[in-house]
Structure 1
């Protein structure tokens, strides 16, 4: 029970209810099948990629270690979000405990930031490979990967940790229905009886600082790569250089395009259904995860050959 300054007494909620697509309940029926197929594809494709890189000695190189990290992040994000969404669709299990909600909030925010940071490190890897090929073996080493992974985990976990802490310290004394399929920070914080200005400012400042700095560094890396490629005189060298960056660039497009559309729908929220941002938020956790390993598997000859060898051996 909470007694407010104005003398009103209210009982704090003990859990939340995820009101997924309340305005468009028919969406749940036709979304459940493709969403479950995307989830299975994401888990299977990423698991295959991880096993291939683990068992194939020829793939024990820094670039593939970074790709393994990306696959692990994708799998954790999928497992954190999609099973609960499908449980709501199929069994109407809308209830989620406070701890589970804030834990999901932390995983979603921190792991998405980790993915962005991983793309930035991979862009630097491609920059060194193309702009400084002779120095690549001495710069991009196993030690570099270990330090990069520690940086990725520490920077984003510690920075994002305050988001669920700020939301968790609020008093939820009235509504407990989250107008979302997931425990997004602002969707949860809006239910509080307290002032959430700090929550808004922190998410905006640090969210854009992390993602913005990563995107700027990625853009800078590819600008330098493009400049170096244009200086190459051999057509074969140009094609090979662009091929080594193609897969990575496609992954960045998957990650950033859905994020950009999500932001634009929020800006134009008066012109689109409120369920559209909710749908994009869910899809952003599964579509890149499903497509990332496929793109690398199709476009990278070494991975493709490694998968073929493992299939012949029967794993």
Structure 2
């Protein structure tokens, strides 16, 4: 009798949990509709501003520059709205919204180049030497540094790199969206704070990131190591990867397996001030409270686990890496 009562109790608990999850998803759907409506209205306003550019008086460059600055600010507001609400939106709507932001930035770039030509943003590359092997970190062949002195409507990032050390230092600049895509066997170090981070198609790579004041979206990664502090993080289609996190909300995984989680372990000069400014100075413990959106049973998802302490990398100081020094 007692065994039957216990089973019944567990069944009721599971039914209640599934009911609450269904209710949350219904509430999220209503919230998503409102957010998408705001995004659509702002997009239409920006498109209207872009159309007005062609009828502007080209003999008054100062007025035209101010007009472009206003458009850039509107695009930044749209970008920030996506970042702030990406945790509530389905992955498809997030990708669509990001594509919209990218298209609007490209349109502004084309108009700016047509009406006010100027020097384009570029990356700088220089060789580096590796001092010793570290089993936890792939050793790169080349160092790429990001010149952060870019126009506000450009979206910085690294893409299509193999076996490179990629460094971006944003301690003295304001950065919105930062994107990493199609990287193989690379090390990425982002020093300072960014508002949103988007990661696509990485394998055998290591990513060290200072505070992200908004959301992190990671999709299609394999055999990678991520060290990230952020307010929100969503992981889709990740396999055999480790995540060292400090996060304000529960991490979300979807269509993901064989991933492990541990606490944030990054340091560099000034990181405590950066974390405090981003409201990420306190350890919440949410790195171990992972939600698997594809796992509806009452027991923990088998798709993720806590990384054993004896397998963790320890504190990583990326200040040693800025000039090609790979020692930990």
Higher strand share: 2
Q: Same fold (TM over 0.5)?
A: no
Q: Which has the higher contact order (CA 8 A, sep 6+)?
A: 1
Higher helix share: 1
